[in-house]
Structure 1
Amino acid sequence: MAEAQKFCREYYDELATIFNAEDQIAALRAVSAQSLTDAIWVHSQYHAFWPQVDYWNLPDAKCVVHGHTAKVWILKYCLFSYNFVCQKSTQSNSELKYYMVQGSLTWKGAQTACRANGDDLASILTQEDYTAFQSITETQPFEMWIGLYWKTSTRMWEWSNGDPFPYCVSEPQLGASNCCSLTYKGHGQTENVTLEKIDCSLKRPFLCTGKKRIKQTIVRMSLKSNTGGDLNDPVVKEQMLEQFRKEFAKNGNFIQGLRWRDLPNGEVFRKTVELGSPDEGQCGSG
Structure 2
Amino acid sequence: MATVRSSTENQMAMTLVPADNRSWIGLFNDGRFYWSDGSSVLFENWDNGYNPIGSMTVVCGVTSIDNSGKFNFFSCETKLPFVCYSIYSPKKQVVKMILETKDSVDLNDPVLKANILKKLQDRLEEHRVTGVTLKWKEHPGGEVFRKEKNLKKTDL
- Normalised to the residue count of structure 1, the TM-score between the two structures is 0.30
Higher helix share: 1
Larger radius of gyration: 1
Higher strand share: 1
